[in-house]
Amino acid sequence: MVDHYTNKMDGMVAIVTGASRGLGRAIAKEFAAEGAKVMVSARRNSPTGLAGTAVETAEAIRLRGGEATALTCDVSNEEQVMFMVGQTLDIYGRIDVLVNNAGIMVLGKTLLDIVPEEWDESVAANLRGPYLCSRAVLPTMIEQKKGSIINIGSRMGSSHEQAGGVLYSATKAAVHMFSLCLAEEVREHNIAVNILSPGGLKTEGSAAIPWTQGDWERRVEPEAVGPSAVYLAVQDAAAFTGQLVNRSDFGETWGV
């Protein structure tokens, strides 16, 4: 039996990118627990060698009684993105939610340390990916006259004092502005676009960063982000859009 809470997403179809581990996996599992059918997307292998696959996430969802399909997709590759969206429509017939979670985190390197190939790879994953995925799902959402796009932001994209560095902070700041502008573009079609900043998490990726050990105990498990992601998933433009929200404030200043 799946651990349904209130079936808030019953009948909905969601795509979650970068769902092989960490935050993406937690969001995909939470969506399924709330009744959604989930397309679990991730690259075949982590560029940093971290464990976890989309297949494993989908299997974990199905073991709990949920419905999920795993698919390999590099979000910076237009052909693969279009195939992912096409497969979702072929299997489930609609797309209600897109979570642009896939990305690359490069921290602790100065501008002179970062080689051009590394810069381009991060921009491709962190900014081109949300652009391609959003562009691919929007025709369907416009036809449905409803949808929700959730872009994973970061406090490092809002404050230079958060130690994101020139590359990661620049890409996340770009995602923030991309989202706010897109929200205005698609408001007339009743499509919500919001940015969810999860805060410090205890993920496999974070564990590999030495300086995170200093605040490890203050970080939360990625599962803590699930309820706030569900809240954003069920919104439309008439209800809640064009917002940059912090997971830590959920239930207090938003989502009440």
Q: How many residues does the chain have?
A: 256
Which of 104-113, 206-215, 236-245 bottoms out in mean pLDDT, i.e. has the lowest? 206-215
- Per the prediction, the chain carries an average pLDDT of 90
Residue 255 lies in a domain: no
Is residue 131 annotated as a catalytic residue, yes or no? no
* 201 is a domain residue: yes
Cα distance between residue 155 and residue 137, in whole Å: 27
Mean pLDDT to the nearest integer, 210-237: 80
Tokens of 232: 């954003």
pLDDT of the residue at 215: 57
**Does 216 reside within a domain?**
yes
User: pLDDT tens for residues 41-100?
Assistant: 999 876 666 768 999 999 999 999 999 999 999 999 999 999 999 999 999 999 999 999
> Beta-strand (E) ranges in the chain?
13-16, 37-42, 67-72, 97-100, 147-152, 191-197, 244-246
**What pLDDT band is residue 207 in, cutting at 50, 70 and 90?**
very low
Q: What is the mean pLDDT of residues 227-242?
A: 98
Q: Residues of the chain with pLDDT > 70: what percent?
A: 89
Q: Give the structural domain span for 190.
A: 13-249
- Average pLDDT on 141-167 reads 91
Q: Does any domain span residue 167? A: yes
For residue 220, pLDDT over 70 is answered with yes
What pLDDT shows up at residue 217?
57
Neighbour count for residue 213 (Cβ, 10 Å): 10
Q: What is the per-residue pLDDT for 1?
A: 40
Among 92, 131, 168, 231, the one annotated catalytic: 168
How many domains are contained in the chain? 1
- Proportion of the chain in helix, strand, coil states, percent, rounded to 5: 50, 15, 35
Query: Does some domain include residue 2?
Result: no
Lowest mean pLDDT among 90-99, 133-142, 194-203: 194-203
**200 in a structural domain:** yes
On whether the pTM is more than 0.95, the answer is no
Residue for token digits 């990118």? 17
Q: How confident is the model at residue 5 (pLDDT cuts 50, 70, 90)?
A: low
DSSP state for residue 128 in the 8-state scheme: I
In a domain, 136, yes or no: yes
CATH number of the domain residue 239 falls in: 3.40.50.720
Query: Is 8 domain-assigned?
Result: no
